[in-house]
């Protein structure tokens, strides 16, 4: 059973890495063939944010409740009926709200429409990918990641050669839409009882809480820079963000694998699992220091290699950004340990508070200091998150974790 869980975690992680590579290659292409890299990065960050506010949480709920349906939990058809309905409501709201924001960033009505399409399609991707993983179809999910990537780059080639710069965000939206159509959950069933509806929606709400805490800080930096600094600096930051994205995905992938591993170990020996978690954390500190240290040292070469002759002034920004991402990555091991040992709420609350502190700092500093203020706010949130999560994970007394019940386990 443990081997099966680890296999699914590793395959699912492959899909995450594929999407990270897609984002990197996509923005690299745009950064080298156009002058709208900051606008594209800002809208991508916007899409990530809107997905966190419901679709991604609905995907996590599907991952939680679809397996439970086979052992007496709410029916799979009823769960999916509820989650599909909630997804469409959230998507309609996201489309309406994202259009004027996208228009502010792009200054073009057609580009704003393409941006809103991307926001909705990315939400559909996160939701349907969660349903596939809920059905233990990790291999299919990762294969569809490859398919959607191929579609996106095919459409991007057509858009760039035709000179339709307003449609530069359309290819990603088309790729995510293809994924969602092919993976769309079609289960149907009776309406859930009120208590079951409440449990599913409550779980989704707490999932959103944790998702915003885990993934809401870095995209916020791009949005603040795009809003409060000049285009030249926003372009430099977007280029730096492109190069920092693969390193950031590394920590996310490590977290996914370790959640599965610690979940299996903690049910056998709490003390031994804690000892392993401490050991893994020490290794992660050393490993991330080596990886990010090397990337910081190679930053001038990397910037010139990926964006030859375009964003040399962004080297210092890239180096600072990599240093802060390194700090934020330190939550990967203790965060996985907390999630696997039934302390999801403590992890989510601590991370959320750190994220709020970081975003509040950005809101205070960015209007006056622009890019530098936004990055300083990111540093505040990253340090607060890493410190609080590590303290929660390793200062509390370890306890044996029982196998979770159907739907009563703590998020």
pLDDT digits (tens, 9 = 90+) for 20-37: 777 788 888 888 877 778
Q: What is the mean pLDDT of the chain?
A: 82
Q: Where residue 135 falls among pLDDT bands split at 50, 70, 90?
A: confident
Res. 235: pLDDT tops 70: yes
Q: Could you tell me the CA-to-CA distances from 255 to 252, 258, 402 in Å, in that order? A: 5, 5, 21
- Higher pLDDT residue, 85 or 39? 85
The rounded distance, in Å, linking the Cα atoms of 309 and 47 is: 29
CA-nearest of 24, 21, 37 to 234 is 37
Res. 404: pLDDT tops 50: no
For the chain, the residue count is 411
Identify the pLDDT of residue 72: 57
Rounded mean pLDDT, 182-211 = 81
| Residue 70: burial class (beta carbons within 10 Å; 0-12, 13-18, 19+) | exposed
Identify the pLDDT of residue 407: 39
Q: What is the pLDDT of residues 273-297, one digit of tens each?
A: 788 888 888 998 998 999 899 999 9
Q: Where residue 378 falls among pLDDT bands split at 50, 70, 90?
A: very high
Percent of the chain at pLDDT exceeding 90: 23
The string of DSSP codes covering 29-49 is HHHHH-S-HHHHHHHHHHHHH
Percent of the chain at pLDDT exceeding 70: 86
- Higher pLDDT residue, 70 or 59? 59
N-terminal to C-terminal alpha carbon distance within the chain:
22
Helix or strand or coil: residue 10?
A: helix
Rounded mean pLDDT, 353-357 = 90
Res. 84: pLDDT tops 80: yes
CA-nearest of 267, 93, 78, 268 to 187 is 78
The rounded distance, in Å, linking the Cα atoms of 291 and 247 is: 9
The rounded distance, in Å, linking the Cα atoms of 173 and 124 is: 10
Q: Where residue 134 falls among pLDDT bands split at 50, 70, 90?
A: confident
Lookup: tokens for 278: 């401490």
Res. 406: pLDDT tops 50: no
Q: What is the pLDDT of residues 311-322, one digit of tens each?
A: 888 889 999 999
Identify the pLDDT of residue 22: 79
The rounded distance, in Å, linking the Cα atoms of 56 and 50 is: 9
The rounded distance, in Å, linking the Cα atoms of 271 and 103 is: 54
The rounded distance, in Å, linking the Cα atoms of 191 and 65 is: 15
Identify the pLDDT of residue 403: 40
The rounded distance, in Å, linking the Cα atoms of 32 and 40 is: 13
Identify the pLDDT of residue 280: 85
The rounded distance, in Å, linking the Cα atoms of 337 and 347 is: 10
Identify the pLDDT of residue 393: 85
The rounded distance, in Å, linking the Cα atoms of 32 and 27 is: 9
Res. 85: pLDDT tops 60: yes
The widest CA-to-CA distance across the chain, in whole angstroms, is 62
The rounded distance, in Å, linking the Cα atoms of 92 and 273 is: 44
Lookup: tokens for 358: 């970081």
Tell me the Ramachandran region of residue 34: left when phi exceeds 0, alpha when psi lies from -120 to 50, beta otherwise: beta
Rounded mean pLDDT, 335-339 = 79
Res. 388: pLDDT tops 50: yes
Q: Are 13 and 242 in contact (CB under 8 A)?
A: no
């Amino acid at each position: 059973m443990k081997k099966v869980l680890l296999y699914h975690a590793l395959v699912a992680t492959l899909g995450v890495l594929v999407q990270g590579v897609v984002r990197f290659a996509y923005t690299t292409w745009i950064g080298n063939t156009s002058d709208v890299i900051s606008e594209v990065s800002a809208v991508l960050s916007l899409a990530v944010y809107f997905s966190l506010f419901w679709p991604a949480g609905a995907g996590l709920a599907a991952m939680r409740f679809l397996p439970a349906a086979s052992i007496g939990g709410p029916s799979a058809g009823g769960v999916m009926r509820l989650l599909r309905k909630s997804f469409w409501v959230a998507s309609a709201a996201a489309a309406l709200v994202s259009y004027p924001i996208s228009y502010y960033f792009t200054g073009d009505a057609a580009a704003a429409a393409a941006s809103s399409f991307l926001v909705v399609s990315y939400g559909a991707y996160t939701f349907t990918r969660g349903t596939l993983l809920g059905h233990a179809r990790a291999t299919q999910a990762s294969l569809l990641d490859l398919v959607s990537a191929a579609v996106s780059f095919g459409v991007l080639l057509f858009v760039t050669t035709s000179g339709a710069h307003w449609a530069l965000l359309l290819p990603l939206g088309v790729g995510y839409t293809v994924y969602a159509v092919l993976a769309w959950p079609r289960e149907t069933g009776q309406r859930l009882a009120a208590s079951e509806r409440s449990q599913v929606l409550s779980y989704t709400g707490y999932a959103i809480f944790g998702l915003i805490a885990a993934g809401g800080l870095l995209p916020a930096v791009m949005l603040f820079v795009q809003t409060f600094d000049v285009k030249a600096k926003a372009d430099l930051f977007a280029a730096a963000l492109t190069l920092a994205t693969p390193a950031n995905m590394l920590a996310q992938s490590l977290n996914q694998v370790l959640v599965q591993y610690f979940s299996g170990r903690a049910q056998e020996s709490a003390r031994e699992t804690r000892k392993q978690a401490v050991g893994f954390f020490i290794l992660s500190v050393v490993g991330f220091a080596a990886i990010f240290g090397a990337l910081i040292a190679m930053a001038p070469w990397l910037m010139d290699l990926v964006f030859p002759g375009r964003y040399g002034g962004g080297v210092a920004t890239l180096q600072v950004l990599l240093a802060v991402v390194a700090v934020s990555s330190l939550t990967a091991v203790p965060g996985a340990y907390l999630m696997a040992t039934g302390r999801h709420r403590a992890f989510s609350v601590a991370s959320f508070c750190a994220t709020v502190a970081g975003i509040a700092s950005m809101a205070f500093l960015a209007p006056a200091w622009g890019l530098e203020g936004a990055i300083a706010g990111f540093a505040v949130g990253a340090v607060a998150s890493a410190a609080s999560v590590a303290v929660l994970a390793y200062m509390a007394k370890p306890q044996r974790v029982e196998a979770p019940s159907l739907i009563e386990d703590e998020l």
